[in-house]
Chain A
């Protein structure tokens, strides 16, 4: 494989690795979302540094150029990551919906009980400035 392609691939792999670590360190990314990213970065590093493995895979796939194999694997991982996020987002959507419905029902209940016991509505804006 062309040495420049190899250097580029190693840099991309290292770049992803460092970025992910840094994001977790700063608590901007949760550990559970990082698994596939680490797998991608390590996959790219292993394939670009361990040339016999890459050659073997290239022959297996019937691809002409080893770099194609490398980027093919990168692409597959990106598809997996997107799918993973779609699943997570779907779950979050359901959870947000349930929470909003629950908040709506509880808030109705609070105002109903308040009306029954004739406790005046709380006014957070004005009361908090006095305390």
Chain B
């Protein structure tokens, strides 16, 4: 089983060394690939210094596009499983073994880390909490399966899933509830796994300012058109 951890990073020189150190301590045997999304700081150099693979976008394309570059890389280099983890230190590499364990079940195509499956002390702000409940509720109804953390991008994906993401018109910015609905329509079986969530180690999240309003609009619209489109037909390998 070849496993690749893809780490999208945009101006994350502060937290990346910590994340990479934790990766080697708690997820040995997993290759790491940092996708430097046109950072203006020393993100790429920081990653190269510890000897992990780095793919650098010549310009900033967005967090979703960075993840997709990772999927494309994994597809070409013949990986069996992709783990997606943030570079800001919010996801804890100690949770990777439980994500991988969930994939040992034949009937699971994707394991998605959830902060809310168990109470591990994560407390979102009030505004965020309202938005997240809305999309969790919507995704739960539309997938017929309990979704507790639709915004989570901490996940482990089997090859058919990341192949699908690599080849589709993947969102370039937010990766959210619309993807959960899409995965359901594509026939993938998803399991949520309890993980911890920490405050950012540095840098800043892009969900601030006017972005939340746009975010709610964009993800809602995306869910709507996902439902209006024909369900994707998958070419299984």
Q: Which residues of A contact B (CB under 8 A)?
A: 94, 97, 100-101, 103-105, 107-108, 112
Closest beta carbon of chain B to A51's beta carbon, Å: 45
- Beta-carbon nearest neighbor of B68 in chain A: A101
Please determine whether B54 and A100 come into contact, CB atoms closer than 8 angstroms. Answer: no
Known: A97-B61, A97-B172. A104 touches B56 (CB 8 A): yes
Contact B61 A105 (CB under 8 A): no
Determine whether the beta carbon of B172 is less than 8 Å from that of A104: no
Q: Is B69 a contact of A101 with CB atoms below 8 Å?
A: yes
Which residue of chain B lies nearest to A108 when distances are taken between CB atoms in the complex?
B55
Q: Which of A94, A100, A105, A108 contacts B59 (CB 8 A)?
A: A100
Neighbour of B65 across the interface among A97, A103, A107, A108, CB < 8 A = A97
Contact B55 A105 (CB under 8 A): yes
Residues of B at under 8 Å CB distance from A? Answer: 35, 53-59, 61, 65, 68-69, 72-73, 76, 169, 172
The answer to whether B65 touches A101, judged by C-beta atoms less than 8 angstroms apart, is: yes
The reply to whether A100 and B58 form a contact with Cβ atoms under 8 Å apart is yes
Q: Which residues of A contact B53 (CB under 8 A)?
A: 108, 112
Closest-by-CB residue of B relative to A112 is: B53
> Is the beta-carbon distance between A104 and B57 smaller than 8 angstroms?
yes
CA of A97 to CA of B56, assembled, Å: 13
Q: Which 4 interchain pairs have the tightest Cβ spacing?
A: A108-B55, A101-B69, A104-B55, A104-B57
Contacts of A112 in B (CB 8 A): 53
Given contacts A94-B169, A97-B172, contact A104 B76 (CB under 8 A): no
In the complex, what residues of A have CB within 8 A of residue B54's CB?
A: 108
- What B residues does A108 contact at CB under 8 A? 53-56, 73
8 contacts between A and B (CB under 8 A): A100-B59, A101-B61, A101-B69, A101-B72, A104-B69, A105-B69, A105-B72, A105-B76
Min C-beta distance of B103 to chain A, whole Å: 25
Closest A residue, CB atoms, query B64: A97
**List of A residues within 8 angstroms of B65 by Cβ:** 97, 100-101
For the A-B complex with A97-B61, A103-B58 known, give 13 more contacts whose Cβ atoms are closer than 8 Å: A94-B169, A100-B57, A100-B59, A100-B65, A101-B57, A101-B65, A101-B68, A101-B69, A101-B72, A107-B55, A108-B53, A108-B56, A112-B53
In the complex formed, the residue of B with least CB distance to A111 is: B54
CA distance A104 to B6 in the complex (A): 14
Partner of B73, one of A100, A103, A105: A105
Closest Cβ–Cβ distance, residue B175 to chain A (whole Å): 15
Give the docked Cα–Cα distance between A101 and B73 (Å): 10
| Chain A residues whose CB sits within 8 angstroms of the CB of B58 once the complex forms | 100, 103-104
CA of A103 to CA of B59, assembled, Å: 11
- A44–chain B nearest beta-carbon distance, Å: 35
Question: Closest approach, in angstroms, between the C-beta of B111 and any C-beta of chain A?
Answer: 25
A101 to chain B: which residues have CB within 8 Å?
57, 61, 65, 68-69, 72
